[in-house]
Structure 1
Amino acid sequence: MQLCRHTLSRVQDTVSLPEFDPAHLRPGIVHLGCGNFHRAHQVAATQAAIGAMGREGLGWGIVSATMRKPDLAQALGRQDNLYALLTRGPRRTAVAVMASITNTVFARARDAGLTERIADPQTRIVTLTVTASGYYLTAQGRLDSRAEAIRSDLAAARPRTALGILARGLALVRKRGGVPPVILCCDNLSENGQTLRQAVMDFASLRGNDALAEWIGASVQFPDSMVDRIVPAPTATDRDDARRLLGGLSDGAPVSAEPWFQWIIGRFEGDRPRWEAHTGTRFVPDVAVFERAKLQMLNGTHMLLAYAGALAGLDTVAAAASDPALGALAARFMRLEQGADVTLDEAELDEYAFELMRRFRNAAIAHRVERVGRNGSAKLVTRVLRPMRANLEAGVSVAGAHLVIASWIRWFILHEREVLRFVPVDPRSDTLVRLCATWRGDHQALVAAILAREEIAGPALPRHESQVAAIASLLDRFESAPATAVLAELARQNHVMQPLVAC
């Protein structure tokens, strides 16, 4: 028997159920990017908001669109868009049935109608989680007009990218004289609201509609936001646990998440769900400090754990963070390098770093390193190179940043040799593999060639040649010794040079 509206009464009384009848929900939000994170984050916060608002909240259902594949939309559709959220703590797993999605569609389907849905007066908010690579940005944060998907969307009758869908939907709002919805980016981009606004304006201008671009800039709200929750890819274990915890009901689309939840949203005008009913949600006048802390200290350290962890044969973030050598290197990198330009006091930085390492070591969350390491070329600038640049200018050691970059490049060296045990996912994978083949055996030239590409690394770093040499030296060490030995030696060296003060 499958989880659906008709079987909700059969779930065990230990399961948290929605405080409303899902059949009475009406859509007020359109979401682009119906993936695991969305279903464990925005959906959970919206469910709490609807429950807290009573009848007034029933107009905040979500129409959620999968962007690349129809499978999840079909799976959710078969069970009335209900699914189990498994919150996995170190000692126990709690389960709740999520029910705030009213409809799930595949964005590329002919009947998806996303532009019409965006232009519908009942749609007051559009949220997005399409990952950093789904915005097709250059290293400078502007729309990459040369990206194949963007070029295709500019000419297509039916858009397929999030930017194309937004631009067409907002054009329809403007044509009809309607009130535009608030566009709320929930991806890990620097100044994500402002960045998305500019990208949509750029897209409109590239289609020859400067008037639309100007209207979007003047009339549409794009508040910044910062989201934080570790959500691994679903596994067979999740399905088995969901069935057991639901009392025997089958769930084709469960999702797991850690207990931690944070959503920091820039204040905006207009109607909205009472999202702050979910613990961890806050509306603030300025998101920047929260965003920088998260992008650098959490996401940047995640990259180190993913890239170096995979080289050391550690399959999950928890295993990598718990490894004596790599865990120590990651904690030191997070606290002594990644706090650059984060305007929190020392005690707050210590507490945040300690909490992050505790979360990373939660073995109940099986966050695969190859998944965390996806799309590194689209993340490197904001998560690693920006604090690295600030540290170089301030005379602070950047040994951890060197290790992140070297470990990332090492993935593609091994991939080019066809000896990496998985295929790395990256929008510039072909370019990176080609460079690895061209400069095989010459790490100095390879690092120089990769860092010279501004679409990956931005402008040259301070004392650029020294940085190239340091990264190349690490690649030489990975070539001549096992990664575990390299990391152990680096940990010993760093402990002598600069003891960790937190974590």
Structure 2
Amino acid sequence: MERLSKATLPAAHTDGVTLPPSGWDTQRTGIVHMGIGAFHRAHQAVYTQDAFAATGDDRWGICGVTQRSDTVKRQLAGQDGLYGVLERAVDHTGVRVVGQVREVLFPAEQNAELMARIVDPATRVITLTVTEKGYRRNGQGGLDLADPAVAADLAGGEPVSAVGRLVRGLQARQRAGAEPITVVCCDNLASNGRVLKRLVDDFCAALGDDDLTAWIASKVTFPCTMVDRIAPATTDADWALGEQILGLHDEGLVTAELFKQWVIEDDFVAERPAWEKAGAQLTDDVEPFENMKLRILNGTHSTLAYAGALRGYPTITRTMADPELAELAAGLITEDVIPVLECPPGEDLPAYGAEVLKRFSNPALAHKTTQIAMDGSQKIPLRLLSTIRDNLAAGRNPAHAITGVAAWMAYVATPEANGLPLPIDDPMADRLAAVRGSKDALGIVENLMGIEDIFGTDLPGNTSVHDQLVDAVTALLP
């Protein structure tokens, strides 16, 4: 079968296929995106292509930056940047071909090219999806200056961390006298724009570059965002289905649900794509939207991942087919999260929660429980502990959220469940390994609650939370 490319695109099937808009291949590059994994290609790149289709503004082609390996570069280089998004729902299966990515850089080999792209006056927006752990924060939320990659970046030479590459690029832009630029974090972090701004400031302070700090304060903005679309890892079956629909071999195929949402703080210091024409929501305050998503969707997703994996379920869909765990998810949303959550303008929290559960039950998406389980030490505080704290402050008992945290604890302690390996892929893996293989629920809870970077100083002293965690871990351990 021929491989997807500009030359073969006219041979693509027409039934179930959406082709990129005319002129996709002549767009100029105006966005640098750091972390060009599956989520970006299924989310922000799609919004940007739809904005191009709606307006004809051709200044917003994307330069993708692959952080850890050159895999995506190799996938897309032979396809003229084209790739398909296999969109699947109960009553829909189709492939959307995206041509918004105009080049992919692997900075381990092309750092000079990356710096030149950031300096280029045509670049007005930098976006990031590098995952929570990619920001290399310490327990206080600042930049971890002791991290080996951060320390090496500060010492000079070609940067390797996301924040290091970003700041060195901004430094080069400042020295070149280039125009203002907006940096848009698209990772699942509360107040993600402000988080990133703090990390950038910490890096500049460690450099001792007051001029750069002042330039960033006046020439760069960091709007907050909330992003949402389920984009599971692409399987062999997905690739086969994508080829069948498209009629071409696509090495860059990604998989996603139909639903997508992007809420963006309207704080741009330079020009940007008309993302609102593609359905993005521009707002003065993203926080209520991000809390809605982090607590209802992400908190429930994590709870299902840990609880389902402990029963040997490989996917979220299979987990939702378990009536007891589906009830746990519904109870978490309706009884623990919604009663203490501010409703964003124009949203209906019960309807949003019901839609989330429906999305998790989508049999067309094989979202692996162990994939969602990654980086729990970074996710649990935002996704579940915030809900627990708000309930305690309101005099309420968040039993379902506590069960979600207990499921994480039991997962960390359990190497395998019903034939399913439960790996620990977490920046705190060495610390979490202290409970690996333990069947002592009390010991597991007290050991993990003692990690101040996760639980703070308030929750470990709460007897009710402690005792409920011990009971729940006892029940959850296989």
Output the TM-score relative to the length of structure 2: 0.94
Correspondence 1:124-163 to 2 at 5 A: 124-163=124-163
Q: Distance in 1 between matches of 2:428 and 2:82?
A: 36
In structure 2, distance between residues paired with 1:219 and 1:181: 7
Q: CA deviation at 1:410?
A: 1.4
Q: State the secondary structure of the residue aligned to 2:33.
A: strand
Per-residue deviation, residues 216-274 of structure 1 (Å, max 9, x unmatched): 23431100110011110011112111111112x11111111111110001112331111
Aligned-partner Cα distance in 2 for 1:82–1:347 = 35
Separation in 1, partners of 2:211, 2:347? 49
Partner of 2:390: 390
Alignment of 1:279-298 (within 5 A): 279=279, 281-298=280-297
Distance change in 2, residues 1:348/1:22 (3 Å): closer
Task: Give the aligned partner of residue 494 of structure 1.
Answer: none
Tell me how far apart the structure 1 counterparts of residues 93 and 322 of structure 2 sit (CA, whole Å): 24
Aligned to 2:434: 434
Moved more, 426-435 or 361-370: 426-435
Partner amino acid, structure 1, of 2:293: K
Aligned to 1:343: 342
Of residues 443-452 and 379-388 in structure 1, the stretch that sits farther from structure 2 once superposed is 443-452
Aligned counterpart, 2:263:
264
Amino acid paired to 1:294: K
What one-letter code is carried by the residue in structure 2 that aligns with 1:343? E
Structure 2 CA distance for partners of 1:183 and 1:466, relative to 1, 3 Å: same
* CA distance in structure 1 between the partners assigned to 2:179 and 2:139 by the alignment: 33
Q: Secondary structure of the equivalent of 1:85?
A: strand
Alignment CA distance shift 1:111-1:357 (3 Å): same
Aligned residue in 1 for 2:304: 305
Alignment CA distance shift 1:293-1:164 (3 Å): same
Q: Give the CA deviation at 1:71.
A: 1.1
- Contact 2:450-2:460 within 8 A present in 1 as well: no
Counterpart residue identity of residue 456, structure 1: I
Indicate conservation of the 8 Å contact 1:183/1:221, yes or no.
yes
How far apart are the structure 1 equivalents of 2:110 and 2:219?
29
Distance in 2 (alpha carbons) for counterparts of 1:9 and 1:460: 61
Greater CA deviation, 217-226 or 1-10? Answer: 217-226
Q: Which residue of 1 aligns with 2:362?
A: 362
Which among 461, 464, 472 is matched to residue 474 of structure 1? 472
Corresponding residue number in structure 2 for 1:414: 414
Aligned counterparts of 1:324 and 1:112: Cα–Cα separation in 2? 54
Distance 1:115 1:382 in 2: 33
Identity among equivalent pairs (%) = 38
Matched residues in 2 for 1:151 and 1:206: separation?
10
Q: Give SS of 1:182's match.
A: strand
Supply the distance in 2 between the matched residues of 1:86 and 1:435 (Cα, whole angstroms).
40
Structure 2 distance, partners of 1:102, 1:376, is 34
Alignment of 1:49-60 (within 5 A): 49-54=51-56, 57-60=57-60
Partner secondary structure for residue 414 of structure 2: helix
Of 404-413 and 93-102, more deviation after overlay is shown by 404-413
Q: Structure 1 residue 107: deviation in Å?
A: 2.8
Give the C-alpha shift of residue 167 in structure 1.
0.6
Residue of structure 2 in register with 1:22 after alignment: 24
Distance 1:49 1:113 in 2: 27
2:110 and 2:97 map into 1 onto residues whose CA distance is 30
Structure 2 counterpart of 1:253: 252
Verify the 8 A CA contact 2:33 2:65 in the aligned structure 1: yes
**Which stretch shifts more, 152-161 or 190-199?**
152-161
CA distance, structure 1, for counterparts of residue 364 and residue 246 of structure 2: 19
Is the partner of 2:292 in helix, strand or coil?
helix
- The amino acid across from 1:44 in the alignment is V
After superposition, the Cα gap between the structure-2 partners of 1:45 and 1:347, relative to the gap in structure 1 and judged at 3 Å, is closer
- Opposite residue 468 of structure 1, the aligned amino acid is H
Aligned length: 474
Aligned to 1:233: 233
In the other structure, the counterpart of 2:35 is 33
Report the secondary structure of 1:240's partner residue. Answer: helix
Q: Partners in 2 of 1:198 and 1:465 — Cα distance? A: 35
Of residues 307-316 and 214-223 in structure 1, the stretch that sits farther from structure 2 once superposed is 214-223
Per-residue deviation, 1:435: 4.3
Taking the aligned partners of 2:45 and 2:273, their CA distance within structure 1 comes to: 11
Distance 2:439 2:422 in 1: 22
CA-atom RMSD in angstroms: 2.1
Q: How far apart in 1 are the matches of 2:176 and 2:339?
A: 47
Cα-to-partner distance string for 1:168-212 (whole Å, 9 max, x where unaligned): 011112222222310000000000001100111111212222442
Q: Please tell me whether residue 449 in structure 1 is matched to residue 447 in structure 2.
A: yes
Q: Matches of 1:31 and 1:110 in 2, distance apart?
A: 15
CA separation in 2, counterparts of 1:416 and 1:369? 13
CA contact (8 A) 1:197 1:216 kept: no
Does the 8 Å contact 2:449/2:460 carry over to 1?
A: no
Which amino acid counterpart does residue 352 of structure 2 have in structure 1?
Y
Give the corresponding residue for 1:500: none
**1:311-369 Cα distance to aligned partner (Å, 9 max, x none):** 01211111212321100111110222123542128992211111111111111111111
1:427-449 per-residue CA deviation (whole Å, 9 max, x = no partner) reads: 11111002447xx4543233223
Distance across 1 between alignment mates of 2:473 and 2:199: 36
The match for 1:465 among 434, 444, 463 is 463
Report Cα offsets for 1:447-493 as digits up to 9, x if no partner: 223222222223322852332222122222234xx5xxxxxxxxxxx
2:90 & 2:419 partners in 1: Cα distance?
34
Deviates more, 1:211-220 or 1:118-127: 211-220
Give the 5 Å matches for 1:197-216: 197-216=197-216
Partners in 1 of 2:82 and 2:347 — Cα distance?
42
CA distance in 2, matches of 1:110, 1:200: 22
Aligned-partner residue type, residue 91 of structure 1: D
Inter-CA distance 324–264: structure 2 relative to 1 (3 Å threshold): same
Give how far 1:125 is off.
0.2
- 1:250-307 deviation per Cα after TM superposition (whole angstroms, max 9, x unaligned): 111111111111000111233111112223x111111111010001110011000000
Could you tell me which residue of structure 2 aligns to residue 42 of structure 1?
44
Q: How much has 1:155 moved relative to structure 2?
A: 2.2
With over 3 angstroms needed to count, the CA separation of the structure-2 counterparts of 1:447 and 1:147, relative to structure 1, is: farther
Q: More displaced, 319-328 or 287-296?
A: 319-328
Deviation at 1:416, TM superposition (A): 9.4
For 2:416 and 2:451, locate their aligned partners in 1 and report how far apart those are by CA, in whole Å.
19
Partner of 1:491: none
Q: Give the 3 Å change call, closer, same or farther, for CA 75–379 of structure 1 in structure 2.
A: same
**1:357 and 1:60, CA in 2 relative to 1: closer, same or farther beyond 3 A?**
same
User: Quick one: which amino acid aligns to residue 31 of structure 1?
Assistant: H
Q: Give ranges in structure 2 of 5+ residues lacking alignment.
A: none
Residue range with higher mean Cα deviation, 135-144 or 177-186:
135-144
